A and B are shown apart, each in its own frame.
Chain A
Amino acid sequence: MLSGTAFALIGAALAVGLAGIGSSIGVSKAGQAAAGVVSEDPSKFMKCLILQLLPATQGLYGFVIGFVVMLKLNIFGGSMADLTPYSGLAMLGACLPMAISGLLSGIYQGKVAASGIALVAKRPEENIKAVVFTIMVETYALLGLLISFLAVYLPTYA
């Protein structure tokens, strides 16, 4: 018989995986820009590092959702819950906001972060403004996290 638990785990995998991909792409883009700037002026390392780390959070948010799914499935409690296919699909759906918003916002936040690093190269004293531009993108990952969390955690899946 088809178990819904598999669907739920696929949801967790998507949330962790896609958001992780988004963050990796974002962080690598920002990192490439940062390496260029630091090669010219090593003293800008800390400022560039902060900007590079900003797109890293999507991966963490995805990880949180993946973990909450595992918590709901009672994986840590020993015997894994056996969901109906419908519940499993529902949980998979609940994971999608985080997965999708994490993937795309991570990539796009990385682009803004890279531009922010270019800003720091020219005017290091304005680094906080670059940070503010960059976290504007993150809002949507946070909203995805919020909806995924509420939808995974609150209902009772059977």
Chain B
Amino acid sequence: MSVVKMKKLSVVGHKKDRRRILRELTELGVVEVSLASEINGTFVDKHPVTCETIARKVANLESAIVFLQESQRELKNRDFSSVVKNNQSFQNAKFGRENVVMSYEELSSVVKDEYELFTVVDALSDINAELTDIKAKKSRIASQLTQLELYTELDIKFSEIKDSKKTTLFVGFTDVENIDKALTLLPQNAIVRSKDTLNGTLLAIIVFKDDAETSARILSSINFRKCPFNDPFTPLQMIENIKLQLETLNQRRKELYLTVAERFSCLKNLKLLYDFYLIELQKAETMGKCRETVGSFVIEGWIPEDTEVTVLEKLNNLSNGIVCQTRGPGEDENPPSFIKNPKIVGAFGDNITATFGTPAYGGIDPNPFVMFFYCLFFGFMFSDAGYGLIMTIACGLILLIKKPAKRSGGFFLMFMFCGLSTVVWGTLFGGWFGLTTEQLSGSSLGRFLLSMQVLNSMDGTDILVMFGIALGLGVIQLATGFFLNGIESLKIKKYASAILNDFSWVIILLAGGVAVFGILLSISLLSSVGGIIFLIGVLMLLLGGALGRKNPISMLAGAFKNLYGSINVFSDILSYSRLFSLCLTTGIIGMVINIIAGIMPTLLSYAGYVVAFIIYAGGHLFNFAINALGVYVHNSRLQYVEFFGKFFTGEGYPFVPLGSKTKYVFLTDGSAYEQQEKLKTSKP
């Protein structure tokens, strides 16, 4: 439950062993290779040649997969339905991550089909190119067709549109209306034939060559476009021709897509091969981080401390010519943060903390606290036990039926727990699908549910108590934040600052809370003791502000600054009033839905029951969705701003061991982890 301690591993070996060593490191799955430190007489091959070759393979595989995905949409068209209906591999095609876990060794076995697979990739790429070509041709033909359709009234061949010795013939088209006036401007002896069509006017004009230029100018004023064709066919013949061409292209296109449909059987292997080469690419890139001489090389990397023994043993067994060494991280080094948590804590870590940042190496892992508070607040805000029950069951079913591999189901696991928390809070608040107390007490089940209710959000005093609880929960989370920051300060040996600047706040917040509690319930013992401890805390805080300053005036200023900082803490506490506000919205909107649905039967008699059901189901679905979203984001904000703001900066960077990055399958934890698990189970 923490950020794991890391060690720096250095391996020196012969170049002939390099591939084997890299393979072993990938299989171990616990080594993040870092840039090797400088050694005299060595060099770094920054751009290994193999990198480019592998990167090209990865890119080709990716474009093949993308092409298949694009084709899927096309193949789902009506035209192909009869063909692909029985094509199982097409019907089952999935382009996301496969829900399978496999070892690196299993993944590597896909390479034996590499030749066949890359043949498929090349074929797909050819098909893709041809389809693009067909698409371009079709659009060219289509634009030609619209042009030709303007001339359907012309019954001569285009090639017959010619000038004679002394005259010029204009044949063309204009879509301008009222051209008569312009035509009168043409020379007296011009022969004009015009024909109105749907899209405009077809014009044929013969003028003497001497008048050609002026005529052209006049014609351009009415947007006259000259006929662009000169083929030896009539327009109708050409249209016929083009339609034939179009049909051939469509036929070919269909054929190509049918070929693509058959290739879907390779999809899974293409995905595997993609992941395999993705790892190969990472391996090749690590070579660019090694220092090397002509015959030897050094590789350096971070490994979790607890896997040290296994890693050294495996590497030493590989060959006699390998020297391995481990050491703790140096002062100026910044190891990656490897966060190890139980699955459920990890679920909150992946979905909430990770979007904010990664804990710094050697810092506190906030995930267990995030899990606790996130769950707690979620239930308070969502506050309807009925909704919580649905959420828990839905997430549980998804987890049971789909069995998401490794950590991919974390999202559902997280909301399952949030749902449970909602059930608890909802029961305490008596929130069941927005039903009112009167409605609930009408049935024995409702009376049973009500018997567990502690607070009623429709009762004057209880409302204030709920509001108080919301702020109180905030005080507890803030105190936790300050406490954790104090621990961080202790770690770097800033004892005085930890006690006076951080723990003082823990005292102030908790004692203040107790004092307020005492005043509200008029328990004088609590209020006076709490008050005194509260004042001690304030005094400590003032001292903390003066800490490390020599000049009395700047000491005073520091103390004042610390006191002034309490305004921020105060507004932080008020920020937790959103717990109460959101709690209210869920309940009241639920209630409104019930009321509206309830009056429908009286308004519309029998049909009213149907309408009531629709309103009831749809309304609660809407309330569930919009409030779940609201609660999710506001809860995250409380963690990020109010809680993390006190102690957590997220300045670390995550641990990404060699061979851990895949796109389509999950890899088993490296063999180093497996060995460790075995050791653990055999020990006790």
Give 1 or 0 for each of B556-585: 1 = CB within 8 Å of chain A CB. Answer: 000000000000000000110110111011
Q: Tell yes or no: A150 within 8 A of B by CB.
A: yes
Secondary structure of the B contact surface, majority rule:
helix
Stretch at the interface among A3-11, A88-96, A126-134: A126-134
| Given contacts A139-B575, A142-B578, A64 and B633 within 8 Å (CB-CB) | no
Stretch at the interface among A28-36, A48-56, A79-87: A48-56
Closest-CB distance, B434 to chain A (whole angstroms):
11
A30 to B640, CA, bound (A): 24
Q: Chain B residues with Cβ under 8 A from A131's Cβ?
A: 633, 636
Q: Chain B residues with Cβ under 8 A from A56's Cβ?
A: 626
Q: Tell yes or no: A24 within 8 A of B by CB.
A: no
Q: Tell yes or no: A157 within 8 A of B by CB.
A: no
Q: Chain B residues with Cβ under 8 A from A68's Cβ?
A: 588
Closest-CB distance, B624 to chain A (whole angstroms):
13
Closest-CB distance, A69 to chain B (whole angstroms):
12
**Is the CB–CB distance between B630 and A57 below 8 Å?**
yes
Give B636-654 interface residues, CB cut-off 8 Å to A.
Answer: 636-637, 640-641
**Is the CB–CB distance between B636 and A153 below 8 Å?**
no
| Given contacts A53-B626, A153-B460, A154-B463, A135 and B577 within 8 Å (CB-CB) | no
Closest-CB distance, B1 to chain A (whole angstroms):
24
Q: Tell yes or no: A60 within 8 A of B by CB.
A: yes
Task: Select A135's contact among B595, B626, B637, beta carbons within 8 Å.
Answer: B637
A56 to B625, CA, bound (A): 12
A57 to B585, CA, bound (A): 10
Task: Select A132's contact among B589, B591, B592, B641, beta carbons within 8 Å.
Answer: B641
Task: Select A64's contact among B585, B634, B636, beta carbons within 8 Å.
Answer: B585
| Given contacts A60-B626, A63-B589, A67-B592, A132 and B463 within 8 Å (CB-CB) | no
Q: Tell yes or no: B355 within 8 A of A by CB.
A: yes
| Given contacts A128-B355, A153-B460, A135 and B581 within 8 Å (CB-CB) | no
Give 1 or 0 for each of A131-147: 1 = CB within 8 Å of chain B CB. Answer: 11001101100110110
Q: Chain A residues with Cβ under 8 A from B191's Cβ?
A: none
Q: Chain A residues with Cβ under 8 A from B589's Cβ?
A: 60, 63-64
Q: Give A53's nearest chain B residue, CB to CB.
A: B629
Q: Chain B residues with Cβ under 8 A from A143's Cβ?
A: 574, 577, 581
**Is the CB–CB distance between A146 and B581 below 8 Å?**
yes
A16 to B678, CA, bound (A): 63
Q: Chain B residues with Cβ under 8 A from A150's Cβ?
A: 463, 467
A40 to B626, CA, bound (A): 27
Q: Give A129's nearest chain B residue, CB to CB.
A: B355
A41 to B629, CA, bound (A): 23
A50 to B629, CA, bound (A): 8
A131 to B639, CA, bound (A): 14
Q: Chain A residues with Cβ under 8 A from B585's Cβ?
A: 57, 60-61, 64, 145
Q: Chain A residues with Cβ under 8 A from B630's Cβ?
A: 57
Q: Chain B residues with Cβ under 8 A from A135's Cβ?
A: 633-634, 637
**Is the CB–CB distance between A132 and B588 below 8 Å?**
no
Task: Select A149's contact among B584, B592, B626, beta carbons within 8 Å.
Answer: B584
**Is the CB–CB distance between A142 and B577 below 8 Å?**
yes
Q: Give B575's nearest chain A residue, CB to CB.
A: A139
A139 to B578, CA, bound (A): 7
A54 to B636, CA, bound (A): 14
**Is the CB–CB distance between B633 and A153 below 8 Å?**
no
Q: Chain B residues with Cβ under 8 A from A63's Cβ?
A: 589, 592
**Is the CB–CB distance between A132 and B636 below 8 Å?**
yes
Q: Give A126's nearest chain B residue, CB to CB.
A: B355
Q: Chain A residues with Cβ under 8 A from B582's Cβ?
A: 142
A53 to B628, CA, bound (A): 12
Q: Give A149's nearest chain B residue, CB to CB.
A: B584
Closest-CB distance, A79 to chain B (whole angstroms):
16
Give 1 or 0 for each of B347-360: 1 = CB within 8 Å of chain A CB. Answer: 00000000100000
A103 to B636, CA, bound (A): 25
A60 to B355, CA, bound (A): 28
Q: Chain A residues with Cβ under 8 A from B588's Cβ?
A: 64, 67-68
Q: Give B354's nearest chain A residue, CB to CB.
A: A128
Q: Chain B residues with Cβ under 8 A from A149's Cβ?
A: 581, 584
Closest-CB distance, B332 to chain A (whole angstroms):
30
A63 to B619, CA, bound (A): 14
| Given contacts A67-B592, A142-B577, A57 and B626 within 8 Å (CB-CB) | yes
| Given contacts A60-B589, A64-B588, A142 and B581 within 8 Å (CB-CB) | yes
Q: Chain A residues with Cβ under 8 A from B581's Cβ?
A: 61, 142-143, 145-146, 149
A26 to B637, CA, bound (A): 20
Q: Chain B residues with Cβ under 8 A from A142's Cβ?
A: 577-578, 581-582, 634
Q: Chain B residues with Cβ under 8 A from A60's Cβ?
A: 585, 589, 626
Q: Chain B residues with Cβ under 8 A from A145's Cβ?
A: 581, 584-585
A56 to B622, CA, bound (A): 12
Closest-CB distance, B25 to chain A (whole angstroms):
28
Closest-CB distance, A102 to chain B (whole angstroms):
12
Q: Give B585's nearest chain A residue, CB to CB.
A: A64
A63 to B574, CA, bound (A): 23
Q: Give A134's nearest chain B residue, CB to CB.
A: B633
Closest-CB distance, A158 to chain B (whole angstroms):
15
A53 to B463, CA, bound (A): 28
Q: Give B634's nearest chain A residue, CB to CB.
A: A135
Q: Chain B residues with Cβ under 8 A from A146's Cβ?
A: 577, 580-581
Q: Give A145's nearest chain B residue, CB to CB.
A: B581
**Is the CB–CB distance between A153 and B595 below 8 Å?**
no
A138 to B663, CA, bound (A): 37
Closest-CB distance, A115 to chain B (whole angstroms):
16
Closest-CB distance, B61 to chain A (whole angstroms):
20
A136 to B636, CA, bound (A): 11
**Is the CB–CB distance between B460 and A154 below 8 Å?**
yes
Q: Chain A residues with Cβ under 8 A from B574's Cβ?
A: 143
A67 to B630, CA, bound (A): 20
A3 to B88, CA, bound (A): 73
A149 to B582, CA, bound (A): 12
Q: Chain B residues with Cβ under 8 A from A136's Cβ?
A: 637
Q: Chain B residues with Cβ under 8 A from A53's Cβ?
A: 626, 629
Give 1 or 0 for each of B179-212: 1 = CB within 8 Å of chain A CB. Answer: 0000000000000000000000000000000000
30 interchain pairs, CB-CB under 8 A: A50-B629, A53-B629, A54-B633, A56-B626, A57-B626, A60-B589, A64-B585, A64-B588, A67-B588, A67-B591, A76-B595, A129-B355, A131-B633, A132-B633, A132-B640, A135-B634, A135-B637, A136-B637, A138-B634, A139-B575, A142-B581, A142-B582, A145-B581, A145-B584, A145-B585, A146-B577, A150-B467, A153-B463, A154-B463, A154-B464
Q: What is A's interface to B at a CB cutoff of 8 Å?
A: 50, 53-54, 56-57, 60-61, 63-64, 67-68, 76, 128-129, 131-132, 135-136, 138-139, 142-143, 145-146, 149-150, 153-154
- Counting from the closest, the 4 A-B pairs by CB-CB distance are A128-B355, A142-B581, A64-B588, A142-B578
- 4 new A-B contacts at CB < 8 Å, known A142-B634, A154-B463: A128-B355, A131-B636, A149-B584, A153-B463
